[in-house]
Structure 1
Amino acid sequence: MKAATLTFLCLTALASQAHASSPDAWAAYDKAVLTHCTKASGLKNARPVGNPAQFDDRVDYTALLLQGQYPQKHMKGQQGTELCLYNKKTKTAYVTEWDSVRPTAKSQ
């Protein structure tokens, strides 16, 4: 009888950990990604372009595009785009320039 009770308790504990995250938890996570990515960005007035891209948990990264203005004087406030990769485990943001990847508007 003790073995059956112990088995039941173990299975109950494992099943309770399989629940998906709540909408509030996702909103808090997205806010953390935005905060870390904006802080890591070199752009002035950096803001997100769309929503964060959630990768599979095996990758441990979330991607976020940011847009803002280059702060360097010689850039004269030119708009810029950066890609931020946020590491879920270490809670660290890594940013790289992403201007050359975005298509440019061609005049006809």
Structure 2
Amino acid sequence: MKAATLTVFCFTALASLAQASSPDAWAAFDKAVLASCTQASQLSHPKPVGNPAQFDDRVGYTALLLQGQYPQKHMKGQQGTELCLYNKKSRTAVVTEWDSIRSSDQPR
């Protein structure tokens, strides 16, 4: 009887650990991703395009598109797009230019 009670207790404890994160936890995570990505951005006034893309934990990254203006004088305030990859483990972001994501009907 003691073994059965212990087994039930263990499964209950493990089940509580397996619950999904709360909406508040996801909101805080999204806020951290946005802050890290905008800080890493080379664009002026970068803004997110849509919501972050959550990859499987095996990948370890979250992706976010940013749009803003190129700060270089010769770019004359032209709009640019960057892809940000946020590393969940190290909590750091890297960006790369991704202007090719624009469809052909969008002005450059």
TM-score where L is the length of structure 1: 0.89
SS at match of 2:12: helix
Hey, what's the Cα distance between the residues in 2 that align with 1:39 and 1:76? Answer: 22
Hey, what's the Cα distance between the residues in 1 that align with 2:17 and 2:72? Answer: 48
SS at match of 2:85: strand
Q: Tell me whether 1:66 sits opposite 2:72 in the alignment.
A: no
SS at match of 1:52: strand
Hey, what's the Cα distance between the residues in 2 that align with 1:36 and 1:68? Answer: 15
**Letter in structure 2 aligned against 1:66:** L
CA RMSD of aligned residues (A): 1.7
1:80 aligned residue: 80
Which sections of structure 1, spanning at least 5 residues, go unmatched?
none
Q: How does 1:43-58 map to 2 (within 5 A)?
A: 43-58=43-58
Q: How does 1:1-108 map to 2 (within 5 A)?
A: 2-105=2-105
TM-score where L is the length of structure 2: 0.89
Q: Deviations over 1:17-43 (max 9, x none)?
A: 011111111111111110000000000
Which sections of structure 2, spanning at least 5 residues, go unmatched?
none
Distance change (3 Å), C-alpha of 1:106 and 1:53: closer
Hey, what's the Cα distance between the residues in 1 that align with 2:6 and 2:43? Answer: 56
